[in-house]
Amino acid sequence: MKKLLTILLSLYFTFQGSLFVGKAGVIEGTPARLYSIGIASFYGNGEKLNKFTANGEIFNPNDLTCASWDYPFNTMLKVTNLANNKFVYVRVNDRGANKRLHRLIDLSKKSFSEIANLEQGLIKVKVERSN
């Protein structure tokens, strides 16, 4: 029993809770690579300019970064817009309000514009670790 608990805890901390966000599943053709599907938004219209992100960096809306509560800082993520299959690689450097607003991830303005028109505001995405 103790061994089983140790294995389960190590799996949880390996994936940092990503098993419990959105619809998690296994991508076919890759060994046990998990992903989440949910809603993405963007931020960076001035509310964070010259302010610090949760990991201590100064926020720059032109960087390919994101806010997520589900991954450790500096984790690289591949975010795919499910409507057009465009994707962008982003680095987690902030936490943001996305969890409170029931969104999977908040992208910097630049990151969002790489995969969708800013006028859309919210898009359905697939998020997966890339490192």
Which domain does 20 fall in, by range? 2-129
- Alpha carbons within 13 angstroms on the beta-carbon side of residue 118 total 10
pLDDT the model gives residue 75: 95
**% the chain with pLDDT above 90:** 56
Tens digits of residue pLDDT in 34-71: 899 999 999 887 667 678 999 999 999 999 999 999 89
pLDDT band at 22 (very low <50, low <70, confident <90, very high): very low
pLDDT the model gives residue 74: 95
What token pair was written down for 29?
A: 């053709």
**% the chain with pLDDT above 70:** 72
Q: Is the pLDDT of residue 9 over 70?
A: no
Residue 21 amino acid letter: V
Dihedral (CA of 79, 21, 65, 30) sign: negative
Q: Is the pLDDT of residue 26 over 50?
A: no
Count of domains in the chain? Answer: 1
Q: Is the pLDDT of residue 28 over 70?
A: no
pTM of full prediction above 0.75: no
CATH number at residue 57: 2.40.40.10
- Cα 9 to the chain's mean position, in Å? 22
